[in-house]
Chains A and B, each alone.
Chain A
């Protein structure tokens, strides 16, 4: 394995990882505010990619308008989902909530494949310029650079939002203690809805980015399942953790894939490596790098 190849793996891993980070951010926002483990995160991503395809390719909107409309659609969808499905489940045991999001994922998936079929669709024209640039001797597509920059930008915007904006502070307060937040005049209901909206928007944009690189089809939701390794590594309720965890998982899956291909002639390690990492982390450090340890007292 040459250094060149190694670097190439790291760079493409970092780019894919940055999208993992964005989607993982969406997952963590929901988990932090509402304690819901959203198994439909990948479907939110897939729906975002498809809706943008519909506006961009099928209805010939310019890219910026298509992206705005996708964001708008994500917001409306998230509000519906939160109000109709998740709100009645408040206070139910973990398994019911997990199951209801799985049910939601089945619905979104089948509606998407009923509308757009199962073929691979591509954005025409491509969203970003395709030229190759050279980075430390490694050729990198400009598309990848754009993708990375946009996801990091997204992460930065939401970090600042949580740190400084009023709504962001209210969301953190709700995550910390719902009753206290409620008694300080924060509407917990609105915060729940808001967290779903933000999550859907972030994953939708992530979907557009990944759809632009890989094409869209109805297995795109698998991408969303990678948020579990990412968030578990970073800590389920840590936004910084989601950002770092996503990138680490992206790099690690690429590297392990490359290593196994070169040295053991074993292909397809990419699909399984994140989950092996996930099990290892759970056994060694279940609350991840930055997660809050749960302490139980009787």
Chain B
């Protein structure tokens, strides 16, 4: 007998990442589609996709910290920078390979994240936000002034990765590296949230005093969350640096941190999928704005300059509108739409 609806009778079934055969097919198809993507689109679109994948890694990392553990961080931009500079130093100045540089970037950034996460033991909410804001400025300053490592205001030129004599010089070949790393890291994050560690993170977020009473070591899990989140940021930063072949300090300023926070808020706090939606949204938005203003600029001269000045402002408006009208983000909205159509037309 086939029941109507989706019943789960064991915890294992309930905890599965992909819960129905339909979802499994969809996800597989989507991954295959992503693999074929570079052959379907023009190089400009491929470049945007590349940036979305990189941003998705960083956004998932920030969501682990902010969405799942409830620790607000305004320093994600600087942590991306730590990763980018680490990988740049290792590949460009020490001459080691990309395959050493990226993991090392993750680990070094994780360490930096743990150091700047120490205040989280005593601080929470807005105090932590202010502490991470300070870490953003301190790190930015170090990027600019520690010239022997970071190249100061000149930045560092870095190579694309190579493997056994083959150089991943084109965006298309580099895309596959980024895609595989992003897929692995998203999968890891989704799995992490099903483990004891992930549940501990959520307990710390929901009520940290209760969590502590139930035997969760607050200090350990907060620092762990900072470490994992910064690891993601470090890898994303390193991949970003290699994609541009250049690293300099203004790529990692406070505005980047804000864009990443906007990603997870627009996508949905505490949702892995949401972080990806947010990354897609926030990367596509400026491109769309450029296209739209280019179209309008034909009829209204002078609007192009105005539009570049207003770009940040439009970000701001979108953040405010989302926070007021859809505080749970795109992931939640998507769920609502799905629930509506699932039972259509009897959606009561």
Contacts and interface: CB of A to CB of B under 8 A. Distances in A.
Interface of A: 37, 85, 88-89, 92, 94-96, 98-100, 102-107, 109-111, 113-114, 225, 228-229, 232, 236, 266, 268, 271-272, 275-276, 278-279, 282-283, 286, 296, 298
Contacts of B269: 95
A243 to B, nearest CB: 19
A275 B138 contact: yes
A88 B324 contact: yes
28 contacts: A37-B129, A85-B324, A92-B323, A99-B261, A99-B265, A99-B319, A99-B323, A103-B319, A103-B323, A106-B312, A106-B313, A106-B315, A107-B317, A110-B312, A111-B313, A225-B137, A232-B127, A268-B141, A272-B138, A275-B133, A275-B134, A275-B138, A278-B130, A279-B119, A279-B134, A282-B119, A283-B119, A298-B209
A119 B318 CA distance: 27
Given A96-B327, A113-B309, A278-B134, A283 B122 contact: yes
Interface of B: 66, 72, 118-119, 122-123, 125-127, 129-131, 133-135, 137-138, 141, 144-145, 209-210, 213, 258, 261-262, 265, 269, 306, 309-320, 323-324, 327
B274 to A, nearest CB: 14
Contact of A271 (B72, B141, B213, B310): B141
A278 B134 CA distance: 7
Nearest to A107: B316
A89 B324 contact: yes
B221 to A, nearest CB: 18
A8 B327 CA distance: 50
Nearest to B135: A279
A114 B306 contact: yes
B312 to A, nearest CB: 4
A279 B122 contact: no
A298 B133 CA distance: 30
B130 A232 contact: yes
Contact of B323 (A37, A96, A109): A96
Interface majority SS on A: helix, strand, loop or mixed? Answer: helix
> Nearest 9 pairs between A and B by C-beta?
A106-B316, A110-B313, A103-B319, A107-B316, A275-B134, A114-B309, A272-B141, A94-B125, A103-B320
A37 B134 contact: no
Contacts of B306: 114
Contacts of A102: 258, 261, 316, 319
Contacts of B213: 298
A236 B123 CA distance: 13
A286 B127 contact: yes
Nearest to B259: A106
A150 to B, nearest CB: 28
Given A102-B316, A110-B316, A282-B131, 9 more contacts: A95-B72, A95-B269, A106-B312, A109-B313, A228-B134, A232-B130, A275-B137, A276-B138, A279-B134
Contact of A110 (B141, B144, B145, B309): B309
Contacts of B137: 225, 271-272, 275
Nearest to A113: B309
A107 B320 contact: yes
B284 to A, nearest CB: 18
Contacts of A268: 141, 144-145
A113 B327 CA distance: 29
Question: Which one of A103, A113, A225, A232 has the greatest number of beta carbons of chain B within 10 Å?
Answer: A103
Nearest to A296: B209
Contacts of A109: 312-313, 316
A110 B311 contact: yes
B134 A99 contact: no
Contacts of B258: 102, 106
B174 to A, nearest CB: 31
